[in-house]
């Protein structure tokens, strides 16, 4: 089994998200960079998996499988954490009464690093506690992470994206509230905060974070609900990790026979290319992107003009 449409759109998503990353990298918007980089990494992982196990569920590429399993495990955490960084930054700017000092800006970026990078890495480490074996391989899907369904797994893995999304939603409400009530002075606030944002970019960031929440939060709640059903008892570390080196394989026919397995396989699969497309629509159609396109066009035109006479002389 293989899914040509998915492989195409996930590959296209990698291309689409590169431009927003370059634009935000120039603007030094750390919270947005974390969001886009995580989307990019997740999409690369699922794209490569769809190619490696195109019509196969053969066991190979164990190191890549370990990396893929961890990235897929924390993908909901990554998106909710980076959305929290964006909403927290927007709320801080919109609610500020004075120019943000350099020390406060530095502290804010360090906090973004902790939330956007530190928390996902922390959950990666914690997930090993409830990881009974290395990973599974599903035909046409590739690597699937495995979590021992027990009470500790709820608090170590599944509850994180829900909690982070709720906090992010709170900051998002604050950002929107202050935008509505202080719309006239928000332009000067954005300028004085040295954030590199204007009103249009501010609204696009609100839209991106809201898209992350609207798409990711219901999925995270569903995963939390399903994972909390029929919990198995935690006996001991040795009992859970007794066969940790094992890699289980499943054909597409067996994997898709169960509705729950189908949902667990399909939801993360299409989330990454969808968010790549959303990010492109939010950031690659604005004034900054248009200026970048014109710059690339002028550069290409100069190269063609310069090479033309040289080619003719030859």
DSSP 37-50: HHHHHHHHHHHHHH
Provide the pLDDT for residue 47.
92
Check residues 283 and 194 and name the one with the higher pLDDT: 283
Enumerate the domain spans of the chain.
4-283
Provide the pLDDT for residue 152.
93
- The residues facing 144 across adjacent strands are 136
Check residues 197 and 163 and name the one with the higher pLDDT: 163
Q: How far is CA 311 from CA 297, 304, 308, in A?
A: 21, 10, 5
- Residue 95 above 70 pLDDT? yes
Average pLDDT on 2-27 reads: 83
Taking the C-alpha atoms of residue 248 and residue 229, their distance in angstroms, rounded to an integer, is 22
- Residue 267 above 70 pLDDT? no
Q: Please name which of 94, 143, 158, 114 lies closest in space to residue 265, comparing C-alpha atoms.
A: 143
Contact between 250 and 138 (Cβ < 8 Å): yes
Question: What is the distance between the terminal CA atoms of the chain, rounded to a whole angstrom?
Answer: 52
Taking the C-alpha atoms of residue 110 and residue 125, their distance in angstroms, rounded to an integer, is 21
State the pLDDT confidence band at 120, using cuts at 50, 70 and 90. very high
- For the beta carbon of residue 288, count every other beta carbon within 10 angstroms: 20
Provide the pLDDT for residue 299.
79
Average pLDDT on 253-258 reads: 66
Query: pLDDT digits over 44-94, tens only?
Result: 999 999 899 888 888 888 999 999 999 999 998 998 998 898 888 888 877
* Mean pLDDT over each residue of the chain, to the nearest integer: 82
Q: For the chain, what percent of residues have pLDDT higher than 70? A: 80
Average pLDDT on 96-121 reads: 78
Taking the C-alpha atoms of residue 266 and residue 283, their distance in angstroms, rounded to an integer, is 27
Query: pLDDT digits over 178-235, tens only?
Result: 777 766 666 666 666 656 666 777 777 888 778 777 777 888 888 888 888 889 999 8
> From the centroid of its chain, how far is CA 167?
17
State the pLDDT confidence band at 102, using cuts at 50, 70 and 90. low
Provide the pLDDT for residue 233.
92
Look at residue 209 and give its three-state secondary structure.
helix
Contact between 136 and 146 (Cβ < 8 Å): yes
In 3-state terms the chain splits into helix, strand, coil percentages (rounded to 5) of 75, 5, 20
Contact between 153 and 234 (Cβ < 8 Å): no
Provide the pLDDT for residue 49.
92
- Residue 1 above 80 pLDDT? no
Look at residue 149 and give its three-state secondary structure.
coil
Average pLDDT on 283-310 reads: 70
Provide the pLDDT for residue 128.
95
Q: What is the torsion angle, in degrees rounded to the nearest 10, for the CA atoms of residue 93, residue 94, residue 95 and residue 99?
A: 50
Average pLDDT on 147-160 reads: 93
Taking the C-alpha atoms of residue 197 and residue 204, their distance in angstroms, rounded to an integer, is 10
Provide the pLDDT for residue 63.
93
Contact between 247 and 135 (Cβ < 8 Å): yes
Contact between 1 and 264 (Cβ < 8 Å): no
- Second-level CATH architecture of 4-283: Up-down Bundle (1.20)
Contact between 77 and 119 (Cβ < 8 Å): yes
Task: Please give the order of strands across the beta sheet that includes 135-138.
Answer: 142-144, 135-138, 247-250
Taking the C-alpha atoms of residue 215 and residue 274, their distance in angstroms, rounded to an integer, is 10
């Amino acid at each position: 089994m293989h899914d040509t449409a998915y492989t195409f759109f996930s590959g296209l998503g990698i291309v689409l998200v590169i431009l927003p990353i370059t634009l935000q990298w120039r603007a030094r918007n750390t919270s947005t960079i974390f969001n886009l980089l995580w989307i990019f990494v997740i999409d690369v992982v699922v794209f490569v998996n769809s190619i490696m196990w195109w019509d196969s569920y053969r066991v190979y590429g164990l190191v890549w499988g370990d990396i893929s399993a961890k990235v897929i495990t924390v993908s909901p955490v990554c998106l909710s954490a980076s959305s929290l960084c964006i909403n927290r930054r927007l709320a801080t700017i919109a609610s500020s009464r004075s120019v943000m000092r350099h020390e406060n800006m530095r502290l804010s970026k360090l906090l973004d690093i902790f939330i956007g990078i530190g928390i996902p890495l922390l959950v990666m480490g914690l997930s090993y506690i409830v990881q009974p074996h290395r990973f599974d391989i599903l035909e046409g899907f590739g690597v699937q992470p495995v979590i021992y369904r027990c009470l500790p797994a709820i608090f170590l893995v599944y509850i994180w994206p829900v909690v982070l999304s709720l906090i992010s939603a709170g900051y998002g409400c604050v950002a929107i509230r202050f935008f509505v009530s202080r719309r006239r002075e928000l332009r000067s606030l954005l300028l004085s905060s040295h954030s590199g944002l204007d009103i249009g970019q501010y609204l696009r960031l609100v839209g991106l974070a809201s898209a992350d929440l609207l798409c990711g939060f219901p999925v995270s709640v569903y995963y939390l609900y399903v994972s909390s059903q029929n919990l198995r008892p935690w006996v001991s570390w040795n009992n859970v990790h007794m066969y940790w080196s094992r890699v289980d394989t499943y054909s597409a026919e067996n994997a898709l026979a169960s509705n729950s397995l189908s949902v667990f396989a399909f939801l993360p699969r299409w989330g990454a290319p969808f968010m790549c497309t959303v990010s492109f629509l939010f950031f690659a159609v604005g004034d900054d992107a248009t200026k970048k396109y014109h710059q690339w066009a002028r550069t290409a035109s100069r190269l063609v003009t310069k090479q033309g006479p040289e080619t003719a002389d030859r």
